[in-house]
Amino acid sequence: MAQNLNPIPPELFLWEEALPGGCHWSGILRRGNALRLTDMSGRANVSALFYNAEEKLERYNMPDTLKAQHTAHLTMGHVCYSDMGHVLCSLIADSCGWHDTVCGTSNAAMVQAKYGESSYQTHRNAMHRNGRDGLLVELGKWGLGKRDVVPNVNFFSKVVADEAGKLQFDTANSRPGAYVDLRFEMNVLVVLSAAPHPLDPRPDYAPGDVMLTAWKTGTPGADDVCRNSCAENQRGFYQTEILFR
Amino acid sequence: MTTFNLVESSLDPKTAVYDAVVNAGDPWIHEIRTGQVFRILDLEGNQAVDTLFYNAYDPEERYSAVDTVRAQGALYLTTGTQLMSTEGRAMLTITADTCGRHDTLGGACSCESNTVRYALNKRPMHSCRDSFLHALAHYDGGLTKRDITSNINFFMNVPVTPQGGLTFADGVSSPGKYVEMRAEMDVLCLISNCPQLNNPCNAYNPTPVRVLIWNAPEQ
């Protein structure tokens, strides 16, 4: 089955939900289903964490993901590894090209210092929100908390390092309509915050809206691009698939 | 070629209040008090020292690789780097470094990641995350696997290319090099002196390191 589907065929469609800029979301995505994140305005950042829904002590592991695939960023062909050597999800399509893995989230102090005070009392649901608190609220719904916050993926954000390691945020990375498709290889708890990236240098608080679209993609075949992007991933997929035998 | 800013310390090992050797492949767990200075010395060169820190009173606050990277706007750790917590506070500050660069993206090896990275039959080999779990199982602090997050790899060189690649480069350490840091809060330090035998970063030969602590200088 072709994995790169745009638009998604109606017979495969499962559900769609808007995630407004700044807001947070969590839910379960099952093995064989996919989630498309679409950057509606070109200014979205989606901080994401992934947990094995059946054993939430198993979770996305940034270093294992980067080391296995010899990469510091994510794009099509890469997968997100758990700390137990399993593939949680695969990037089966990506019209953006670079997703950050090393900068973490904004927090309340950072957002207040950068964008000023904007509380619920004065701004109702247009209040400023930050990535860490968004993730913590969603994690709390599943019995998780501060101990479970690990380095996250920041979808749609690009941060480049020079030779000395100094970081530069690329404001031109995404664009309106850019999307990334995540196919789930396990039953996964997905936790998202659409608050601004912590290194976004733009002075105004204007996190982009995101559309979440789920569909049935099926499980990957022997010729899958993510499975075959490196020998490490072939082993990772094998170890994931034996869980479901 | 990036030139490293190498900074030496004037502290004399004879005046240290704690001085021990952590053997290759062993864990080490110890408190470091506010103002104390902590040195890790690479005795034989290019040994990875996988290190985690926790607030000694509230271990939910712990070292955060991504907050450290974000706070300094740069990937590598050296003199001047503040090791940041998940609550956005400085836990320790690196005050001397004769190696010049330390990694915080590469994480700690585990049985499971070794099976992915090297071969399925590597699972039985000793690993850092097994060492962490072993130490925590015998430490009466209520810490578990949930508390093992992304660590520092002292003496490891893991450059990121401008194209976003990750490489495990030749080591930049050598026998006798050290890194020293001042505690900005009371912390619990958990080390795995890495037993990895599948990676050329330590010449396939894990070696001991020396750890020293000095009391805060009198005001």
Any idea where the domains of chain B sit in the sequence?
Answer: 22-214
Mean pLDDT along residues A143-154: 98
Percent of chain A at pLDDT exceeding 70? 98
Q: For A34-62, what is each residue's pLDDT tens digit?
A: 999 999 999 999 999 999 999 999 999 99
The verdict on whether omega for the bond into residue A196 sits within 30 degrees of 0, i.e. cis, is: no
Mean pLDDT along residues B64-73: 98
Instruction: Report long-range pairs for A53-60 (Cβ below 8 Å, ≥24 apart).
Output: A53/A28, A53/A186, A53/A187, A53/A188, A53/A189, A54/A187, A56/A142, A56/A143, A56/A144, A56/A148, A56/A189, A57/B145, A57/B146, A58/A82, A58/A83, A58/A84, A58/A86, A59/A83, A59/A148, A59/A150, A60/A88, A60/A150, A60/A152, A60/A153
Q: Is the pLDDT of residue A1 over 50?
A: no
- Angle, helix A231-241 to helix A62-69, in steps of 10 degrees: 130
Q: Does the residue A108 lie in any domain?
A: yes
* Facing residue for A107 by CB, picked from B88, B108, B166: B88
Q: For A107-142, what is each residue's pLDDT tens digit?
A: 999 999 999 999 999 999 999 999 999 999 999 999
Give the model's pLDDT for residue B172: 87
Q: Is B27 on the interface with A (CB under 8 A)?
A: no
- Total tally of structural domains belonging to chain A: 1
Which of A60, A63, A59 has the alpha carbon at shortest distance from B153? Answer: A63
The CA distance from B179 to B94, in Å, is 7
Chain B residues closer than 8 Å to A229 by CB: none
Q: Is B88 on the interface with A (CB under 8 A)?
A: yes
DSSP code of residue A36: E
The CA distance from A181 to B103, in Å, is 31
Give chain B's end-to-end CA distance (angstroms, integer): 41
**Left, alpha or beta for A177 (phi > 0: left; psi -120 to 50: alpha)?**
left
Q: Does the residue A1 lie in any domain?
A: no
Mean pLDDT along residues B40-68: 97
A233 CA: distance to closest CA in chain B (Å): 7
Mutate to test the interface with A, among B67, B70, B114, B199 (most CBs of A within 10 A): B70
* Residues 6+ positions from B118 with CB-CB distance below 8 Å: B198
Q: Is B147 on the interface with A (CB under 8 A)?
A: yes
Q: What are the angstrom distances between the C-alpha of B210 and each of B71, B91, B191, B196, B214?
A: 29, 21, 12, 18, 13
Least confident residue range of A45-59, A167-181, B100-114, B168-182: B168-182
Q: Does the residue A4 lie in any domain?
A: no
Q: Does the residue A135 lie in any domain?
A: yes
Asked whether the beta carbons of A157 and A74 are under 8 A apart, the reply is: no
Average pLDDT, chain B: 95
Q: Does the residue A3 lie in any domain?
A: no
Q: Does the residue A8 lie in any domain?
A: no
A146–B86 CB contact, under 8 Å = yes
Q: Is B93 on the interface with A (CB under 8 A)?
A: no
